[in-house]
Structure 1
Amino acid sequence: MAAEYYCADSENGDHVDDPSEDALFMLISDLNDADNTFVVIQPDEDEPAWFASVAVLDEGGYEVVRRDTNRREHEVSIETAIGRIAGDLTKWLAARAS
């Protein structure tokens, strides 16, 4: 079954349809600076109008990118708390589904 709203894919091949806040937390927790450096969340379509990504930074922490071309949004932030990242992304993603 395809994602109803969006899906999350990590560099190591993990794929989650319509990830919950807990699923996002787990995907981000599994990131490392060797072979699983990022996760991307976007609609399951050919040319998505928006996406969010979380990438591990060499100096520690995570770069969080949120981009929505329809709403002319492009935000980049540096975060360290995985729970906060997952919660903020869940709220941001809910606004894309409406």
Structure 2
Amino acid sequence: MAATYYCADSENGHHINDPSEDALFDLISELNDVDNTFIVIQPDEDDPAWFASVAVLDEGGYEIVRRDTTRREHEVNTETSTGQIANDLIVWLAARDFPGRSTQQASTF
């Protein structure tokens, strides 16, 4: 079954469709500098317009890359807290465009 919105894949072969913040936390916590050095989160489609990745740094901590070609976004940050990374990713992922999902519009009262 394909992901509704996006999937997360780790170097060691773990694949999770539409991961929750807790699932992202677990995937990030399992990263190491030997055989599971990164995860990639992106839409489950050919040639996705955006992605995020988390990679282990040699000096400790993680490098987080967020890229969205439709919004001309490309950010590279470092962080040491797996909880903060998972939270930041969930917030960033919620703002992505997904086919078939209605766009949110602000209304004034």
Q: Could you tell me the TM-score, scaled by structure 2's length?
A: 0.88
Q: Which residue of 2 aligns with 1:23?
A: 23
Question: Offset of 1:66 from its aligned partner?
Answer: 0.1
Q: Which residue of 2 aligns with 1:6?
A: 6
The separation in 1 between residues aligned to 2:43 and 2:9, in whole angstroms, is 11
Which aligned pairs between 1:1-98 and structure 2 lie closer than 5 A? 1-96=1-96, 97=98
The letter of the residue matching 1:78 is T
The letter of the residue matching 2:35 is D
The separation in 1 between residues aligned to 2:19 and 2:71, in whole angstroms, is 22
Cα deviation digits, residues 13-58 of structure 1 (max 9, x gap):
0000000000000000000000000000000001000000000000
Report the count of equivalent residues. Answer: 98
The separation in 2 between residues aligned to 1:71 and 1:22, in whole angstroms, is 27
Cα RMSD after superposing both structures: 0.7
Question: Offset of 1:85 from its aligned partner?
Answer: 0.2
Identity, % of aligned pairs? 79
Question: Offset of 1:62 from its aligned partner?
Answer: 0.0
Question: Offset of 1:5 from its aligned partner?
Answer: 0.2
The letter of the residue matching 1:22 is D
Structure 2: stretches of 5+ with no match in the other structure: 104-109
For the pair shown, which has the larger CA radius of gyration, 1 or 2? 2
Structure 1: stretches of 5+ with no match in the other structure: none
Secondary structure of the corresponding residue to residue 36 of structure 2: coil
